[in-house]
Amino acid sequence: MILRPFLYEETACASYLFGCLSDSQLAVVDPQAELVDAYLEAAERAGAPIAAVFETHVQADHVSGLPALVEATRATPYLPANAEVEFPHTALRDGEVVELGNTIVRALATPGHAPAHNAYVVADRRRGTEEPWLVFTGDSLLVGDVGRPDLHAGGDPELRARELFRSIGRLLELPDHTLVYPSHFGGSVCGRALSANPFSSIGFERVNNQALAHAGEEAFVRALLVDLPPPPVDQTAIVAANRRGLSPTQA
């Protein structure tokens, strides 16, 4: 399995190209519209096509590169079930699996930052096991923080915060060695105390993530609802474009 991270400094967003070279099936997670050509060039260098595009949720801080990537590659777009988008896609429910050759991707429902949000737990059969190797956590578990609960709250951020508490619990059930690849790093408005180090592990976050240090759900929720940063610029327009599957020139 290969893994190529893409860090976009302007919005502090992370996206990833990964997949199986043996069977020539690659995928991109949470693509950024500005980086579509970079994903295509990286796939060409690797010698394998992009067969799938995964969104962890409908993004609120940047226009997604999914429509342009699907148009360029005819890849299958995957989104969480009930994502309420207006374009053809395959909805992934909790526990459903996508096989990219030897690379196994399992959807793990992790609502909270958004009501429809998946993490993607990845295993590699070439390692001789289907035990989780890494997880793309989107905007649920971040490095040093968790995703904010208000951007997709529909007027009820407390409900989203309680969902996120349970979702983080599910992620912490993964083995400690599982690598954590979130969709944001320090500087993003989608969290409050994100580390400038974009990558981590379940075990490290379990011990060192201050957002996880609260004793129980009530304390977690109270802490998550204070000191929220301003929302992303043009959030309403960005969400509308991503729901409709528009490119930046159409948005």
Residue 247 has pLDDT above 80, yes or no: no
Question: pLDDT of 177-202, one tens digit each?
Answer: 999 999 999 988 877 888 989 999 99
Euclidean distance between CA atoms 26 and 49, whole angstroms: 6
The tokens for 111 are 């609502």
Euclidean distance between CA atoms 58 and 243, whole angstroms: 7
- What domains lie within the chain, and their CATH numbers? 2-226 (3.60.15.10)
Other Cβ atoms within 10 Å of 158 Cβ, number: 14
Question: pLDDT of 2-54, one tens digit each?
Answer: 999 999 999 999 999 999 999 999 999 999 999 999 999 999 999 999 999 99
**H or E element: which one contains 240?**
helix 235-244
**H or E element: which one contains 237?**
helix 235-244
